[in-house]
Amino acid sequence: MRARRAHDEGDAWDAVVTGQAPSARRLRGDPEIRAQWDEARQVESRLRQGLGLLAEEARMQETQKTDMDTETVHGDAGAPAAGAARRWRRAALVVAAAVVVGLGAAAVGLQPWSGDDGGSEQGTASLSGRGLLACAEVVAQGQVDEVEAVSGGRVELRMTVGEYLKPRKDPGGRLEVTTQGRAELRAGIEAAVVVYPDRADASVYPGEQGTRLLSQLRPYAAEPDTLPRCEGSG
């Protein structure tokens, strides 16, 4: 029994490591395996949340530093490598600021890390406000009513929509999307969601981030005929 338990527990961790969940039949048939799988998944989910929060720290520190650099841009004579990096970064931030959604989009994984073979040139087009709106299937904002964990550290959000930018619809409808789980995604918060037709998970922008995104996209949504053709989304 002891050997079996160790083996089953190993299976649960293997499943988390490989991202391949045990079959539903197996989970239904053995409560012990179900419990081990749930625990392993919970550890994975917390780990991912923690890593995401720490990654945000790295970005926030950079943002604060860049803000300070921008204020004291004259006379900045840092070390050559660091100085070049800051200049590059500053230029990139200018572009990102121009398209407004850039950093917010990066924060929530508009362009996933893995599986991509796209260059940054392609990303530039898709990060523009018009491009984002053109390529998205749904852009909406509303109140998150429920958050439920699903497989692989992801969560399903159920929300009541307060505003649709795309498609143009009346508010009040219900929307359900899946996304990568993060601690900040909770019932009761306001969030904007962007759903792309070729991606399984939605991009979710909680709170102020979502409000900013919507306010930037709203003028473009009012003139759908002026949106560019969506390119590079495949």
Partner 1 sequence: MAATGDPLSPDEHDRVRAVLYLGGMRTDALEDGVQQVRVKLLEQLRTRGRPRHRGAWLATVAGRVALDTHRARRHERGLAERIRHRDPPQVSDRGRTAEERELALVVEQALQSLDQDVRRLVVLRFYADLSVRQIAEQLGVPEGTVKSRLHAAMRSLRERLRETEVV
Pairing of strands 154-166, 138-149: antiparallel
Q: Which stretch binds partner 1 (CB under 8 A): 38-46, 133-141, 156-164, 216-224?
A: 38-46
Quick check: 73 binds partner 1 (CB under 8 A)? no
Quick check: 50 binds partner 1 (CB under 8 A)? yes
Give the shortest CB-174-to-partner 1 separation in angstroms: 26
Q: How far apart are CA 39 and CA 110, in angstroms?
A: 29
For the stretch 34-40, contacts whose Cβ atoms lie closer than 8 Å and that sit 24 or more positions apart, written own/partner, are: 36/8, 36/9, 36/11, 36/12, 37/12, 39/12, 40/12, 40/13, 40/15, 40/16
CA-only gyration radius of the chain, Å: 21
Q: How far apart are CA 53 and CA 157, in angstroms?
A: 19
Q: How far apart are CA 103 and CA 208, in angstroms?
A: 13
Residue 65, SS3 per DSSP: helix
**CB-wise, 155 or 175, nearer to partner 1?**
155
- 8 A C-beta contact, residue 171 and residue 164: yes
Query: What x-and-dash track marks residues 180-219 binding partner 1 by CB under 8 A?
Result: ---xx----------------------x------------
Quick check: 112 binds partner 1 (CB under 8 A)? yes
For 86, other C-beta atoms within 10 Å of its C-beta total 20
Residues 6-25 that bind partner 1 (CB under 8 A): 10, 13-14, 16-19
Residues 153-172 that bind partner 1 (CB under 8 A): 153
Out of 22, 34, 49, 189, the only residue in the binding site for partner 1 (CB under 8 A) is 49
**CB-wise, 42 or 143, nearer to partner 1?**
42
Residues that bind partner 1 (CB under 8 A): 10, 13-14, 16-19, 39-40, 42-44, 46-55, 57-62, 81-82, 84-86, 88-89, 91-96, 102-103, 105-107, 110-121, 123-124, 127, 153, 183-184, 207
